[in-house]
C-alpha cells in the first residue's frame, strides 16, 4: 500500500506530463478533473450560424483542437492564435483542412480587411469590439463563450491566497453592454457558475501549470505546504471542488 507521503510525491511528479495547445484531456478524459455541464453547448449554439456562413474566423484557436472537429467548415475559414508555440500546432492540425492560421498578438489589429467574415467565433479568447465590427460583414454574427472574473477564485482560497484583483468586471452583463455600445445587437446571453471537481492533487498541479495566471507565481515548491493540505483533504473527502464562471453571447453586427 502506498503511504500518503509517497502518494503525494508520486502525484506531484506525475503532474510534470507535458501540456500543449489547449488540451486538458490528460486529466479530463481520465476523470481526474470533472466539470459540471453548462446549461448550453457552445458547438450546438454556433452550428446553425455555421451552416449559413461562407466565411469564418476562429479567434484564439489554441492548437486548433476544437476547430478541427467541426465539419464541414466554410470554404474560407481562418484562425488566429497569440501563443507562438500553439501556432505551429494549429497550422499542423488545421492547414490540411484548408484553414489559414495567423499568429496575432494584438486583438486590436487583426490582419483582415473590412467586412470579411460572416461569422466570428471565440471561445475563451480576448477580443476588441471595434475591431470585430470592422472585420464582420453587415449582419454578420459574433459568438463567444468567455471565462468570467469569478472563475477558479476558490483555487486561490485553497492555496491560502487572495484572488488576483480584476481592474474591470468581466461577466455577461458587462460584455453585452460593451458590444451594444459598439453597435451590436445581442441575440442571446447566458451565464453559469458550474462546479469543477479535482480527484487528486496532481490534477490540480497539472491544471495550474497549464494556466498559471489563475494563481500568480504558482510553483510546487512555493505552495508545497498548502498542496499537502489539499492532498489531505482529497484523501479524506474524495475530492475538492471549485466554482467556475462561464458566459455566452451571440451578437449581430
Task: Please state the domain extents for the chain.
Answer: 4-252
| C-alpha–C-alpha distance, residues 101 and 81, integer Å | 8
| C-alpha–C-alpha distance, residues 164 and 181, integer Å | 28
Spell out the per-residue pLDDT of the chain, length 253, in tens: 344 567 777 777 877 776 655 668 888 989 999 999 999 999 999 999 999 999 999 999 999 999 999 999 999 999 999 989 899 999 999 999 999 999 999 989 999 999 999 999 999 999 999 999 999 999 999 999 999 999 989 999 999 987 666 668 999 999 999 999 999 999 999 999 999 999 999 999 999 988 878 888 888 888 988 999 999 999 999 999 999 999 999 999 9
- Record the cell numbers describing residue 202, joined without a space: 496532481
Residues near 172 by Cβ (< 8 Å), separated by ≥ 6? 148, 189, 190, 191, 247, 248, 249
pTM: 0.88
Q: Which fold has domain 4-252?
A: Rossmann fold (3.40.50)
In this structure, are residues 74 and 97 in contact, taking their beta carbons and an 8 Å threshold? no
What 3-state class would DSSP assign to 116?
coil
Amino acid at each position: 500500500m502506498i503511504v500518503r507521503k509517497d502518494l503525494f510525491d508520486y502525484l506531484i511528479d506525475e503532474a510534470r506530463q507535458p501540456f500543449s495547445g489547449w488540451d486538458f484531456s490528460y486529466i479530463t478524459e481520465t476523470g481526474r478533473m470533472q466539470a459540471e455541464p453548462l446549461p448550453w453547448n457552445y458547438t450546438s449554439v454556433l452550428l446553425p450560424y455555421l451552416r449559413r456562413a461562407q466565411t469564418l474566423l476562429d479567434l484564439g484557436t489554441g492548437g486548433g483542437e476544437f476547430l478541427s472537429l467541426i465539419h464541414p467548415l466554410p470554404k474560407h475559414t481562418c484562425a488566429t492564435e497569440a501563443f507562438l508555440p500553439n501556432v505551429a500546432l494549429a497550422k499542423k492540425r488545421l492547414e490540411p483542412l484548408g484553414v489559414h492560421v495567423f499568429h496575432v498578438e494584438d486583438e486590436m489589429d487583426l490582419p483582415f480587411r473590412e467586412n470579411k467574415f460572416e461569422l466570428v467565433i471565440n471561445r475563451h479568447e480576448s477580443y476588441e469590439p471595434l475591431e470585430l465590427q470592422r472585420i464582420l460583414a453587415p449582419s454578420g454574427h459574433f459568438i463567444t463563450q468567455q471565462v468570467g472574473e469569478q472563475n477558479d477564485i476558490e483555487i486561490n482560497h485553497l492555496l491560502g491566497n487572495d484572488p488576483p484583483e480584476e481592474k474591470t468586471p468581466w461577466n455577461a452583463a458587462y460584455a453585452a453592454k460593451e458590444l451594444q455600445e459598439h453597435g451590436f445587437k445581442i441575440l442571446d446571453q447566458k451565464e453559469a457558475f458550474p462546479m469543477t471537481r479535482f480527484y487528486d492533487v496532481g490534477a490540480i498541479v497539472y491544471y495550474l501549470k497549464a494556466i498559471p495566471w489563475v494563481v500568480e507565481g504558482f510553483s510546487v515548491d512555493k505552495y508545497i505546504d498548502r498542496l499537502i493540505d489539499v492532498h489531505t483533504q482529497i484523501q479524506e473527502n474524495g475530492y475538492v471542488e471549485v466554482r467556475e464562471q462561464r458566459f455566452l453571447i451571440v451578437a449581430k453586427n
